[in-house]
Copies of this chain bind each other. A is one copy, B any other.
């Protein structure tokens, strides 16, 4: 499957003709960038995807990771992808130069996300989590935490997960019960269970940095008593020692199948050490810094899926010969189905979703960049993003389904099989 599942011209149009994103480079923070560097990172995202994740898509979608004897083995293509993506500097791209980052505008980062996710949104979960968790540690961590974790995550030497949901609490985070007991040395003992932890276990890296929401003993009830902890899978001082984080179950999702969704137990043997990240009882507020990025990421995933579906169905419609043109003699030869008005209608609906959806998503990321270059208008853009973030998440996700559904219709009976594309 050596095809391209997005249109570069469309990205360039939104970035340069609509948003005039190069204007950002007048700001000191972005001063080392230009259209040329933006082009380079987009080329890089394309190259890594085409070399590693796109060729692995079908195989990794058909063969989901399994939990065997407490260990999870993921697709070999995922090992290659995370390494290549990190080596290309893509995980670190938006970080400060002091962390080895490129200080890339979020708008451009988001465009590379679109490129990578259109090829394989499930693989991108791993690198996105590394980026998001690093960002949390870089923002709220102490000096020691920043130095220990951030470089390792940005280089994908280790990877990470975010652990919010619990079996009894679902999305009601106020009801989580995972416990953190203070120890005399300033660390905490963590105990509890988390479910649906994407990338919560795998065999790619020798350690996994879990960011875990838990309650410090005696904390207030509800959301005001939740703190955020760094909980490594293995002890950071000696990776051969387990930190008592065990994989006790794996969920089989109906999509994004290459990413294991784990059921994790922390401290089943009362031996799980956690490190407070940021301030006690501020866990949810801190986590939502990352969650807002993740919510935009969900919308972008939807648009990337819409894009993959559109490019697949467009290709099929241009190749598949069936039926006569309505406006020609019915004894004429059959034509490719792209010539039929109803097929064109479906393809155009997909195209509108992809182009409009991408423009909307990039606009949101552009507002984040505006906060940096235009700090006097921070509260204006913050308010705008507060309004638009849930809209972008839902619009992208729901429209992704619509586009995939239309693409399925374009492929006819073949569309309803697991055998295409």
Contacts from A to B (Cβ < 8 Å): 165, 168-172, 175, 195-196, 221-222, 251-255, 261, 320-323, 330-331, 334, 412-413, 416-419
Contact = CB atoms under 8 A, between A and B. Distances in A.
A129 to B, nearest CB: 17
Nearest to A401: B405
A67 to B, nearest CB: 12
A418 B254 contact: yes
Contacts of A196: 413
B172 A322 contact: yes
A326 to B, nearest CB: 12
Contact of A168 (B169, B171, B322, B413): B322
Contacts of A254: 416-418
A413 B251 CA distance: 10
B175 A322 contact: yes
7 A-B pairs with least C-beta separation: A252-B418, A251-B417, A172-B323, A196-B413, A170-B322, A172-B322, A170-B412
21 contacts: A168-B321, A168-B322, A169-B322, A170-B322, A170-B412, A170-B413, A171-B413, A172-B322, A172-B323, A172-B334, A175-B322, A175-B323, A175-B334, A195-B413, A222-B330, A251-B413, A252-B417, A252-B419, A253-B418, A255-B416, A261-B417
Interface of A is mostly: loop
A90 to B, nearest CB: 28
Given A170-B412, A413-B195, A221 B253 contact: no
Given A168-B322, A222-B330, A322-B168, A419 B175 contact: no
B171 A412 contact: yes
A419 to B, nearest CB: 6
A419 B251 contact: yes
A331 B222 CA distance: 9
Contacts of A222: 330
A417 B322 contact: no
A27 B251 CA distance: 56
Nearest to A175: B334
A413 B413 CA distance: 29
A398 to B, nearest CB: 10
Nearest to A413: B196
Nearest to A252: B418
A57 B40 CA distance: 52
Nearest to A411: B170
A222 B413 CA distance: 22
Nearest to A420: B251
Contacts of A417: 251-254, 261
Nearest to A171: B412
A261 to B, nearest CB: 7
**Which one of A221, A255, A416, A419 has the greatest number of beta carbons of chain B within 10 Å?**
A416
B331 A221 contact: yes
A124 to B, nearest CB: 18
Contacts of A330: 222
Given A165-B413, A168-B322, A254-B418, 7 more contacts: A168-B321, A169-B322, A170-B323, A171-B412, A175-B322, A195-B413, A221-B331
Contacts of A252: 417-419
A122 B20 CA distance: 54
A32 B321 CA distance: 53
A195 B417 CA distance: 12
A103 to B, nearest CB: 36
